[in-house]
Amino acid sequence: MTSIEFNLLDTSAKMAVVNQSGYLLHSSYSDKTYCNCYAIDTFFVEVTYGSRNYIILGIKAFKNACQLDKHSNVSE
């Protein structure tokens, strides 16, 4: 599956792919949201949830490793 094919799926199908094939790379939290970043085949997926109700606010697939910077624990 490519990131383009993934992005065409509905939310339920996207989460099924994440749960079945995703490797959790990083989790981050704030007052309003928490975010999990997963690796799937040749792309990454960011899943954002509401921190109080755990409702999925967004699922975004991306291929560019530069977008992983915010999930990195490496200091500059």
In a domain, 74, yes or no: no
Cβ(59)–Cβ(44) under 8 Å?
A: no
| Alpha helical stretches, state H, 1-76 | 3-8, 11-21
Q: Domain span at residue 51?
A: 3-66
Q: Which residues of 53-70 are buried (b: 16+ CB within 10 A; e: fewer)?
A: eeeeeebbbeeeeeeeee
Instruction: List all residues 6 or more positions away from 20 whose beta carbon is below 8 Å from its beta carbon.
Output: none
Is 80 exceeded by the pLDDT of residue 71? no
Tally of structural domains, the chain: 1
| Domain CATH code at residue 61 | 3.10.450
pTM: 0.81
In a domain, 23, yes or no: yes
In a domain, 76, yes or no: no
pLDDT at 75: 46
- Which one is predicted more confidently, 50 or 30? 50
